[in-house]
């Protein structure tokens, strides 16, 4: 998951955890200082329950299940807020509590954008109507008409604005994540063939190689590529490189990394691969490049000189130098016929 979205999710969960914890403290202090009925403590339970779900959500912000937890937390927060307003309306006789509903609407917007804001508004509006209609039973006194006129209208404006802002913010985060992913792909891949480049090779070496286990590198150089460029043109040469890249990717093993360092030079990184297995992969790649190739209706014949190197505890540069030396020895021996990869430790 993209880092900015990860941070936003964590910020939402931390803000919710802190606000609910403060609400629990406020209820306890109110009972002690304002002599509210002990029954008011019942609203501590849903707050604690919601906080437990929020802690689980905080630990799951990078997991797909977070998308399921979001609506659940919106429902719990809204139900707790509406219930708290209904319960405390009997004792808060001189205070209008309906502005508190704005908190639930904004939370719904941040969690589920416009849909979450509107659904939360609908729930709070229903709570306000219930408080107005059954005012004597719930609050013990008549409630002002603002509860079913001004309050829903103002809350609807807040819901629409907050939902649209949250949607715009989420779209910006998504576009930023896509742009970062695109830039990262461009930084790690060869634009012509789509293979990895030296940057990806270095990164893969740091993460995929296991200390103490053999790792192999194949350095491959095309024999006959210059003749194709000279006779058919650079466009044909580019197409040939794309065909070669596709064949190398197809015939390499799963887990092997095929890269192009430049020109007609390719490198294949083979993690956890001893020398004998590396030679087998080299032979398979060499044979794949001998299959007929047609470019612009004309047959093209190429071969590959491949050098292989294997070691357990060495750097990528050392492996590349050893494999490069083996490749040049093979190229000097025979250019157009497959021979076993010259192996260097």
Rounded Cα–Cα distance for residues 73 and 57 (Å): 9
The per-residue pLDDT for 77 is 86
Considering the four listed CATH numbers 3.30.160.270, 3.30.499.10, 3.30.70.270, 3.30.70.120, the one that applies to the domain covering 198-344 is: 3.30.70.270
Tell the residue number behind the tokens 């200082």, with chain if given.
33
Element (H, E) at 74: helix 66-88
Q: What is the dihedral of CA 174, 179, 184, 186, to 10 degrees?
A: 140
Chain-centre distance of CA 336, in angstroms?
46
Residues 6 or more apart whose Cβ sits within 8 Å of residue 310: 214, 215, 216, 217, 273, 274, 275, 278, 319, 343, 345
The per-residue pLDDT for 194 is 93
The per-residue pLDDT for 341 is 44
Where in the chain are the domains? Answer: 3-185, 198-344
CB 245 within 8 A of CB 309: no
**pLDDT of 267 above 90:** yes
**pLDDT of 14 above 70:** yes
pLDDT category, 247, cuts 50, 70, 90?
very high
Nearest to 18 by CA among 39, 43, 45, 47: 47
DSSP 8-state symbol, 195: -
The per-residue pLDDT for 36 is 62
Average pLDDT, the chain: 85
Which range, 4-13, 74-83, 234-243, is most confident? 234-243
Q: Which of 56-65, 246-255, 268-277, 279-288 has the lowest mean pLDDT?
A: 56-65
Bridge partners of 221, per DSSP, are: 265, 305
- Helix or strand or coil: residue 258? strand
Average pLDDT over residues 283-300: 89
The per-residue pLDDT for 308 is 93
Rounded Cα–Cα distance for residues 280 and 267 (Å): 15
pLDDT category, 270, cuts 50, 70, 90?
very high
Average pLDDT over residues 291-308: 88
CB 52 within 8 A of CB 1: no
The per-residue pLDDT for 244 is 94
The percentage of residues in the chain with a pLDDT greater than 90, rounded to a whole number, is: 34
The per-residue pLDDT for 197 is 94
- Helix or strand or coil: residue 300? strand
pLDDT category, 217, cuts 50, 70, 90?
very high
Nearest to 192 by CA among 246, 267, 269, 253: 246
Rounded Cα–Cα distance for residues 243 and 203 (Å): 25
Rounded Cα–Cα distance for residues 157 and 297 (Å): 66
The per-residue pLDDT for 34 is 63
Rounded Cα–Cα distance for residues 122 and 115 (Å): 11
CB 213 within 8 A of CB 312: yes
**pLDDT of 281 above 90:** yes
Nearest to 190 by CA among 266, 268, 260, 264: 260
The per-residue pLDDT for 344 is 47
CB 116 within 8 A of CB 163: yes
Condensed to tens digits (0 to 9), the pLDDT of residues 23-38 reads 777 777 766 776 666 6
Condensed to tens digits (0 to 9), the pLDDT of residues 130-183 reads 988 998 888 888 888 888 899 999 999 999 999 999 999 889 888 888 898 899
How do beta strands 342-344 and 303-311 pair? parallel
pLDDT category, 13, cuts 50, 70, 90?
confident
Q: At what angle do helices 198-208 and 316-333 cross, to 10 degrees?
A: 120
pLDDT category, 268, cuts 50, 70, 90?
very high
CB 28 within 8 A of CB 41: yes
């Amino acid at each position: 998951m993209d880092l900015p979205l990860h941070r936003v999710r964590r910020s939402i969960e931390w803000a919710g955890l802190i606000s609910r914890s403060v609400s629990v403290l406020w209820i306890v202090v109110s009972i002690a200082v304002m002599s509210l009925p002990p029954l008011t403590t019942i609203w501590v339970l849903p707050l604690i329950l919601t906080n437990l779900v929020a802690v689980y959500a905080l630990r799951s912000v990078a997991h797909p299940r977070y998308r399921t937890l979001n609506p659940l937390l919106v429902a719990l927060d809204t139900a707790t807020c509406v219930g708290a307003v209904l319960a405390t309306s009997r004792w808060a006789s001189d205070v209008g509590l309906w502005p508190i509903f704005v908190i639930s609407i904004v939370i719904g917007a941040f969690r589920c954008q416009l849909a979450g804001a509107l659904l939360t508004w609908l729930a709070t509006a229903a709570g306000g109507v219930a408080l107005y209609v059954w005012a004597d039973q719930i609050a013990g006194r008549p409630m002002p008409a603002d509860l079913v006129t001004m309050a829903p209208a103002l809350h609807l404006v807040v819901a629409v604005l907050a939902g649209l802002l949250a949607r715009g913010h989420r779209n910006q985060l998504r576009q930023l994540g896509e742009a970062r992913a695109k830039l990262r792909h461009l930084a790690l891949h060869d634009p012509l063939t789509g293979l990895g480049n030296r940057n990806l090779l270095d990164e893969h070496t740091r993460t995929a190689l296991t200390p103490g286990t053999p790792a192999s590198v194949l350095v491959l150089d095309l024999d006959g590529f210059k003749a194709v460029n000279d006779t058919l043109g650079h466009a044909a040469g580019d197409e040939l490189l794309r065909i070669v890249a596709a064949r190398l990717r197809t015939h390499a093993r799963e887990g092997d990394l095929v890269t192009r360092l430049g020109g007609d030079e390719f490198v294949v990184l083979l993690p956890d691969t001893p020398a004998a297995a590396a030679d087998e992969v080299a032979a398979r790649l060499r044979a794949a490049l001998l299959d007929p190739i047609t470019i612009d209706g004309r047959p093209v014949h190429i071969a590959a000189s491949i050098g292989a190197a294997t070691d357990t505890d060495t750097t990528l540069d050392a492996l590349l130098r050893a494999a490069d030396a083996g490749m040049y020895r093979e190229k000097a021996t025979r250019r157009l016929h497959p021979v076993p990869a010259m192996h260097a430790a």
